[in-house]
Amino acid sequence: MGRYHRPLALADALATLAGGPATVVAGGTDVFPARLGRPFAEDVLDITGITALKGIGLDGGWLRIGALATWSELAQAPLPPWLDGIRRAAREVGGVQIQNAGTVVGNLCNASPAADGVPSLLALDAEVELASSAGLRRIPVAEFVLGNRRTARRPEELATALLIPEPGPGARSSFEKLGARRYLVISIAMAAAVLEPAADGTVGRIRVAVGACGPVARRLPALEAALRGLPLGPDLAGTVTPAHLDGLSPIDDVRGTAEYRREAALVLVRRAIRTLTEQA
């Protein structure tokens, strides 16, 4: 049986991690179900007492999502429209009880291929802030998630926040999720998109990511390049072709076949882009 730590100061948490590995617990919505009926053998670091890790706020061109910020807080915070996509995702993570406890940063660190927050974070060019006794570092989400349940977080590090750069004027975002039923369901496939329109009514920059179609969610650079400069209108979504999704590597599992996922991802990407054009 391991030890249970619940420090109130970040420095104490980092000192604990410097002393040896520990399972970090915030909302607990992934940690507890993963060990049903099996007690913690390892040390546990409960970070819920660390006030400095709370909160969501815009500061100096970046949105900061603290490690203790829950999905409910993200859904309810007064935030600009370019965060509509990830806020849509916030309402699709389990039910409200899960959203009240589960954290955005925890969803990322758990590194499930079906993590509902990750496609939006990729499309938003989000970065992860990692703290250790040695100091802070920041790395893009795209470099943070390495594989199924694997991240670039070192054992002595704590993910303290997500940082999202404010996009250009008029930016907007969308999110689409497919599950076996409407709510309270693990994703079969997801798509997230962020658009920065150009002044002439065409696509300036667009970033599109797909989740649950491979060990990690990923961006679709070929599609992003193909859409740039096209008119922002009802025909834009139809220009997405199956070839644009070639980078995906979906698998067969209990929730769906690889072939079904590929088809679903195409439909979801088109829907996500249609939502962006309809918001204009």
State the residues that interact with other proteins by CB under 8 A.
1-8, 12, 16, 19, 25, 27-29, 32-33, 36-37, 39-40, 43-44, 46, 48-49, 72, 91, 94-98, 100-101, 182-184
Q: How far is CA 235 from the centre of its chain?
A: 28
**Least distance to other proteins from the beta carbon of 72, Å?**
8
Helix ranges (DSSP H) in the chain? 10-18, 71-76, 84-90, 96-101, 104-110, 118-123, 141-144, 221-227, 258-278
In three-state secondary structure terms, 89 is helix
Q: Among residues 29 and 151, whose Cβ is nearest to other proteins?
A: 29
Q: Among residues 69 and 122, whose Cβ is nearest to other proteins?
A: 69
**Least distance to other proteins from the beta carbon of 201, Å?**
34
Measured CA to CA, the distance from residue 125 to residue 251 in angstroms comes to 26
Q: Among residues 116 and 127, whose Cβ is nearest to other proteins?
A: 116
- Give yes or no for a contact between 271 and 189, defined as CB atoms under 8 angstroms apart: no
**Least distance to other proteins from the beta carbon of 47, Å?**
10
Length of the chain: 280
**Least distance to other proteins from the beta carbon of 236, Å?**
29
Q: Among residues 36 and 254, whose Cβ is nearest to other proteins?
A: 36
Tokens for 79, please give them: 């935030």
